[in-house]
Amino acid sequence: MYGLIHCALRDHVAGQYGEDSVAKVLDNAGVTEEHFVVMQAYDDEVTLRLIGAACEILQVDPDELMVAFGKFWVLDTAVKHYGPVLSFAGRTLDKFLANLDLMHEQVAATFTNLRQPSFEVMSSDGSSISLIYKSERDGLTEFVRGLLLGLGEHFQQEVCISILARKSEGEPHDIFLIELQDD
């Protein structure tokens, strides 16, 4: 994964748990600040070590950390680094999700060898959206749940997220049901 992920995780941990916690997580993961060059690709194992160390040091459930980090990614990192691209992808949650792969293609132009995920809206009826998430990477389901919750906040749309299918349970990919709550 790219260093931007590491920078965002560092910022999330610092914001929620303090700078001292960042130092402990880095030490536990055997990672130094050199693993935070935004545009540099790193082995996924570095990212997994950081996440594992954060869970251990912060005594946080991995799913809880991944959901919170997904929300942080949308509400902080994506806004800072991809603000204009975000606004072009759609002005409502359903439009944005329908254009998510196009947005990733735009982002991929700035990152060499980016292994981006794919999202496909299966159905959208005004009250719910069924979304397929495909990735060659495993273990990011709860991160995507956090992304979807963050997108709900970004678009000022209260959402309830259910997971209908999990790749980790033998399905070909994850499927999310996003229920749009009345304001």
Measured distance between the N- and C-terminal CA atoms of the chain, rounded to whole angstroms: 37
| Angstrom distance (rounded) from CA 39 to CA 41 | 7
The first and second tokens of residue 143, run together, are: 């991160």
Question: Which domains are seen in the chain, by residue range?
Answer: 3-60 (no CATH), 67-180 (3.90.1520.10)
The first and second tokens of residue 71, run together, are: 């929300």
**120-145: pLDDT as tens digits:** 999 999 899 999 999 999 999 999 99
pTM of the model: 0.92
The first and second tokens of residue 26, run together, are: 């880095």
DSSP structure class, residue 167: G
**1-60: pLDDT as tens digits:** 888 899 999 999 999 999 999 999 999 999 987 778 888 888 899 999 999 999 999 999
| CA–CA distances in Å: residue 97 to residues 30, 103, 145 | 36, 10, 13
